[in-house]
Chain A
Amino acid sequence: MNMLAEALLPSVNVEEKLFQDRYRVDVGRPHIKLRDAAVCTACKAKPCTVCCPAGCWRVAEGGGIELVVDGCLECGTCRLVCGEGNVDWNYPRGGFGILFKFG
């Protein structure tokens, strides 16, 4: 990261922001999955971990990806930035997921 940007843009706790949002989580039925976890481990760039606006994609110990979709804003970014085509992305079941109060 360029130093100037780092100095100006301190890291932000996205969970605090997501805390304001309303969700109906479809427990046990994540709407986004990795096709092959090994592909993520081998991926050096991991753009999903930077671009996801909800911080759902984290680098796990061991260099793999830890994906928790409970806070997903359903934008679809992860699927598009993945250079490996490794994101199995579906809309949540009707009525589940993010429920925007204002939008």
Chain B
Amino acid sequence: MEKFDVVVVGAGPAGNAAAYTLARAGLSVLQLERGESPGTKNVQGAILYADALEKIIPDFRDSAPLERHVAEQRMWLLDENQTCTGVSHRDARFSQQPYNRYTIIRARFDRWFSEQVKSAGALVICETTVTGLLKDDAGKVIGVRTERAQGDILADCVILADGANALLGERAGLRPAIKAEDMALVVKEVLFLPKETLEARFNISGTQGVVIEIAGNVTHGMVGTGFLYTNKDSIAIGIGCMLGDMKRQQLTPCQLLEGLKRHSAVQPLIDGAEMKEYSAHLIPEGGYRALPQLYGEGWLVVGDSAGFVNAVHREGSNLAMTSGRIAAETLIALRQAGKPFTAANLAGYKQGLDDSFVMADLKKYQGVPELLNQNPHILDLYPRFVGDAAREILTVDGVPKRDKQKKILGELARRRSLLGLLGDAYKFWRAFR
């Protein structure tokens, strides 16, 4: 039976970051990917955060397939009355190199990243589904089982980078079953437009791009958000809601997306575009309190599989790459010190995460999933109120402004008691401080 220093399961951002870093340090690495090629099973908005990738491949900009740099961010509150209230931030410094964030198309980006992994010396085998983990009598993970004939492969350490739907760890008893309440389902379409049309509609040129993050009643009372990102000659549009909410109502994900696409603020932006792909994916949004055990005897878990998503800031791929890198660095340091990959030694991985922004950010927002789960009105009542208040103030109809103000505040008091408002403010402050 073949044996490697490390087997990495999955070729997304986390798995690629780990495999690349390990191979560069001279460890023998086998990476297994179930897709036809890396990226064919992966879905993301997608925004690439340069900082996380720079720490792995400093000169990635020279060869990576990037769509647009993010020159402007808009945050919109949309509701079913076709209102759109929002803020936008455009800063000329975001359009100065080196750029901080880029839109990417994951199928292309993942294939590129995988080429770097191969060049670094890892063996990458696609079209191979890992069906289980091999353990010795003491319960130590010693390799993986694949569906191929004679498909058992031994390794000193297995890195689980198998994505949000983390079946491997669950079936091996390394983690509890994933709960619907901790997962968001996102559906997405890629819509193509001529480059010139797209640039005119979004007020951009060159490699500039716009990202729009969307909240409000487009999720019909469910905890969730939408997004619209500009690629070179296409738009990625999507909407996601917590599965715990989704299973209690009757709107299909497809209908939610259609509702977003038909919103009066969105429709003109995508008008006439040609839809070339419809996709869906789970995002682990349970946050810090839903994190599973992150390491054990002979194994580590990274990226979405570990639940590393900062739902508040819509960040995930940077946490994935960073966790993959830290996992690899932990193994490299142990190997150089001649120490085995025991759970006690692999605790260094958790320490490395604790010392990074990954855990710092997850801890900071640990109360948010519970806040939104228990107070779904926060994403419904307040966006709606903001929209109505803006409409009242901006309608010029001979009514004195003081009367308008009174009407707006009266309307707020009607929808939520003073105590309720104060309570929400306090809960909000606690969850976001």
Residues of A within 8 A of B (CB): 1-2, 4-5, 8-12, 14, 17-18, 20-21, 24, 45, 47, 50-55, 73-77, 79-81, 83, 89-95, 97-103
Contact = CB atoms under 8 A, between A and B. Distances in A.
Contact of B282 (A9, A77, A90): A77
A12 B256 CA distance: 10
A14 B245 CA distance: 21
Contacts of B256: 9
Contact of B187 (A8, A53, A97): A53
Contact of A17 (B46, B189, B236): B189
Given A8-B259, A74-B165, A103-B107, 16 more contacts: A10-B255, A12-B257, A14-B278, A17-B254, A51-B253, A53-B187, A73-B281, A77-B183, A77-B280, A81-B180, A81-B247, A83-B247, A93-B147, A99-B35, A100-B41, A102-B105
A70 to B, nearest CB: 14
B106 A12 contact: no
Contacts of B36: 24, 95, 99
Identify which of B42, B131, B165 gathers the most chain A CB atoms within 10 Å of its CB. Answer: B165
A51 B185 contact: yes
A55 B189 CA distance: 16
Contact of B147 (A14, A21, A94, A100): A94
A30 to B, nearest CB: 15
B185 A53 contact: yes
Contacts of B165: 74-76, 79
Given A1-B251, A24-B36, A103-B110, A80 B275 contact: no
Interface of B: 34-36, 39-44, 46, 80, 105-108, 110, 126-129, 131, 146-148, 164-165, 167, 178-180, 183, 185, 187, 189-190, 220, 234, 236, 243, 246-259, 262, 275-282
B242 to A, nearest CB: 11
A74 B165 CA distance: 9
B108 to A, nearest CB: 8
B406 to A, nearest CB: 28
A80 B39 contact: no
Contacts of A99: 35-36, 40
B179 A100 contact: no
Contacts of B250: 1, 50
A94 B129 CA distance: 5
Given A55-B252, A75-B282, A92-B129, A100 B243 contact: no
Contacts of A47: 246-248
Contact of A73 (B40, B46, B236, B279): B279
**Most A CB atoms within 10 A — which of B43, B146, B255?**
B255
Contacts of B247: 45, 47, 50-51, 81, 83
A20 B129 contact: no
25 contacts: A5-B259, A8-B259, A10-B258, A12-B252, A12-B254, A14-B254, A17-B278, A53-B185, A73-B279, A74-B41, A75-B165, A76-B164, A80-B183, A81-B243, A89-B167, A91-B129, A91-B167, A94-B126, A94-B128, A95-B127, A98-B41, A100-B43, A102-B190, A102-B234, A103-B106
B111 to A, nearest CB: 10
A17 B276 CA distance: 8
Contacts of A9: 251, 255-256, 258-259
Given A80-B178, A103-B107, A20 B41 contact: no
A69 to B, nearest CB: 14
A81 to B, nearest CB: 4
Contacts of B126: 94-95
Given A77-B282, A92-B129, A103-B106, A5 B276 contact: no
Contacts of B258: 9-10, 12
B224 to A, nearest CB: 13
Which among B40, B167, B246 has the greatest number of chain A C-beta atoms within 10 A? B40
Given A93-B147, A103-B40, A5 B183 contact: no
A20 B189 CA distance: 10
A95 B35 CA distance: 5
A25 to B, nearest CB: 13
B345 to A, nearest CB: 31
Contacts of A50: 246-247, 249-252
B58 to A, nearest CB: 25
Nearest to A98: B41
Nearest to A73: B280
Contacts of B34: 91-92, 94-95
A54 B180 contact: no
A53 B254 contact: yes
Contact of B275 (A17, A95, A103): A17
